[in-house]
Amino acid sequence: MTTQHAPAIQVHGLDKSYKDLHVLRGVDFTVARGSIFALLGSNGAGKTTAVKILSTLLKADAGTARVNGFDVATQAAEVRESISLTGQFAAVDEVLSGRENLALVARLRHLENPGRIADDLLARFSLTDAAARRVATYSGGMRRRLDIAMSLIGNPPIIFLDEPTTGLDPQARIEVWQAVKELAENGTTVLLTTQYLDEAEQLADRIAILHQGRIIVNGTLDELKQLLPPAKVEYVEKQPTLEDVFLALVGADGKDGDTGQHPIPARK
């Protein structure tokens, strides 16, 4: 039902204003199928607005956007069949358990066997132990993992992640990165927005910098690096970063995101 050879996302001349605030001023970019595309920008650059337009939550004032070959303005229902959105704030139901959250989304996507889909995803995202607990008791990292797991239900070909690691601790951030990489390896197209340079550097095949409502550069990491004069060689003593120290102390594999099993006791 889709034009398989069309790019996953095509955006042309996108414009959006809120009253007198001109948020997007002619945004153009294209995302190839199966790639990870990072929209990098500081707060207020218009990243979330762009994602909301692409996920049919907002209407653009001008310009066109096609997602999975469908026009977001005129074929919104088809676009919604093709995407999943993980918004800036974890879109999970705090009152329900993790398993119930997943089963809810599976039912809303009209899939058979919602319970089994939920169990599979719980296992894949290391949440099986917490499956029956209310999400209100989850840590930030667990909540984000559940959030992303909910977005995978029904295998939508395109996933939007709006600032997926904002507010997460370093371990949870690495867990999310791992999940995103696995997605792309399985052929899902990922468009993520971030304000963290290292996140774009770690994950993205292509990076576009959105600044004051315009894409000012768009390219691979290497292309972006070539915009600056070649690096000059300097000898600097390699010090561990604070992140290295932190992760070495608390253990980088804390998959549960909980405390209590680490070699060095947390504060008493």
Partner 1 sequence: MSKHFFSDTTVLLGRSLRHITRSMDTIVTTAIMPIAMMLMFVYVFGGAIHTGSDSYVNYLLPGILLITIASGIAYTAFRLFTDMQGGIFERFQSMPIARSSVLWAHVLTSLVANLISLVVVVLVALVMGFRSGAGVTAWLSVAGILILFTLALTWIAVIPGLTAKSVDGASAFSYPLIFLPFLSSAFVPTDTMPTVLRVFAENQPVTSIVNALRNLLAEQPVGTDIWIALAWCVGILAVSYAFAMNTYRRKIS
Residue with smaller CB distance to partner 1, 90 or 190: 90
Pick the closer one to partner 1 by CB: 108 or 197.
108
Using CB under 8 A as the binding rule, whether residue 155 contacts partner 1 is answered as no
**CA angle, 11 then 14 then 19, to 5°:** 155
Residue 149 touching partner 1 (CB under 8 A): no
Binding of partner 1 at residue 152 (CB under 8 A)?
no
| CA-based R_g, the chain, Å | 20
Which C-beta is closer to partner 1: that of 99 or that of 206? 99
Query: Of 6, 47, 61, which Cα lies nearest the Cα of 30?
Result: 6
Whole-angstrom Cα distance, residue 82 to residue 189? 11
Distance CA 23, CA 210 (A): 11
Q: Given the rule CB under 8 A, which of 73-81, 204-212, 233-241, 259-267 is the region that contacts partner 1?
A: 73-81
Which CB atom, from 104 or from 184, has the smaller least distance to partner 1? 104
158 vs 207, which CB is nearer to partner 1?
158
Count of CB atoms situated within 10 Å of the CB of 151: 22
Q: How far is the CB of 165 from partner 1 (least distance, A)?
A: 15
Q: Does 105 bind partner 1 (CB under 8 A)?
A: yes
252 touches partner 1 by CB under 8 A: no
> For residue 137, what are the CA distances in angstroms to 92, 97, 132, 250?
12, 9, 11, 21
For residue 202, give the nearest of 228, 166, 177, 237 by alpha carbon: 177
Task: Give the nearest distance from C-beta 58 to partner 1 in angstroms.
Answer: 8
DSSP bridge pairs for 22: 17
Distance separating alpha carbons of residues 130 and 132, to the nearest angstrom: 6
**Residues touching partner 1, count (CB under 8 A):** 31
Residue type, 20: D
Q: Pick from 68, 84, 188, 193: which binds partner 1 (CB under 8 A)?
A: 84
Distance CA 63, CA 148 (A): 29
Question: Contact with partner 1 (CB under 8 A): which of 56, 68, 165, 194?
Answer: 56
81 belongs to the binding site for partner 1 (CB under 8 A): yes
Structural contact between residues 38 and 51, judged by C-beta atoms closer than 8 angstroms: no
Q: Residue 213: which of 41, 38, 19 has the closest Cα?
A: 41
Among 59, 116, 225, 262, binds partner 1 (CB under 8 A): 59
Please state the closest distance from residue 205 (CB atom) to partner 1, in A: 24
Give contact residues for partner 1 (rule: CB under 8 A): 52, 55-57, 59, 77, 80-81, 83-85, 87-96, 100, 104-105, 107-110, 134, 147, 150
